[in-house]
Chains A and B, each alone.
Chain A
Amino acid sequence: GAVVSQHPSRVICKSGTSVKIECRSLDFQATTMFWYRQFPKQSLMLMATSNEGSKATYEQGVEKDKFLINHASLTLSTLTVTSAHPEDSSFYICSVPGQKGNEKLFFGSGTQLSVL
């Protein structure tokens, strides 16, 4: 079964609105979660590392005021795209480090954001 639950799977919003994406670790606690972004026909790009109880770490070029990350519990991280614009339209994917077995990272099913 799924180890990481990501919602919503698809969202369409108007330009200027904010959108929240949730990522839940179902099987174990996660002090760290990762948020990726993927544009059409491109690879995944790491946006930020979400840290439980502290500030997220953002990759170079990612605006922390635009992509708000909250990791308030050991099983939930949220990514809020504030004042979304059409150029923010992308596929957003969260991931959780594996704690057992062979997988270094478990990935959510992704959220397709379309900003009109």
Chain B
Amino acid sequence: DAKTTQPNSMESNEEEPVHLPCNHSTISGTDYIHWYRQLPSQGPEYVIHGLTSNVNNRMASLAIAEDRKSSTLILHRATLRDAAVYYCIQDSGGGADGLTFGKGTHLIIQP
């Protein structure tokens, strides 16, 4: 079973920042948080991941709470192409394990 909880859906306006929350209250010290997104009729796409510190890349930023029981994916300036289902995944497995997906958040972007 998925170890994270996310809102079913969120709506935002184009060119505005989006904050997607995720709760992972059972996280242990060595568990990573991964974010993937899935556009319609496509396979998931990597967005970002982190362990303890906040992370930034060209796609997004990941803010991890100090107690690590929650995190927020930040899209700094949403575009229509960012409309997708965003999955937050708590990963306690090794390199040979797959990822367990929850239901994710369906992000709707309004023009």
**Interface positions of A (Cβ within 8 A of B):** 4, 6, 32, 34, 36, 42-46, 49, 91, 93, 95, 97, 102-110, 112
Chain B 86-98 near chain A by CB (<8 Å), digits 1 or 0: 0100010001101
Report whether B42 and A97 are in contact in the complex, using a CB–CB cutoff of 8 Å.
Answer: no
**Interface positions of B (Cβ within 8 A of A):** 2, 32, 34, 36, 38, 41-46, 48-49, 57, 87, 91, 95-96, 98-104
A91 / chain B contacts, CB cutoff of 8 Å: 41
A102 / chain B contacts, CB cutoff of 8 Å: 46, 48-49, 57
B49 / chain A contacts, CB cutoff of 8 Å: 102, 104
A interface majority secondary structure: strand
**Measured between alpha carbons, how far is A36 from B42 in the docked complex, in Å?**
13
B101 / chain A contacts, CB cutoff of 8 Å: 36, 43-45
Report whether B91 and A43 are in contact in the complex, using a CB–CB cutoff of 8 Å.
Answer: no
Report whether A43 and B102 are in contact in the complex, using a CB–CB cutoff of 8 Å.
Answer: yes
B43 / chain A contacts, CB cutoff of 8 Å: 4, 6, 93, 95, 107-110
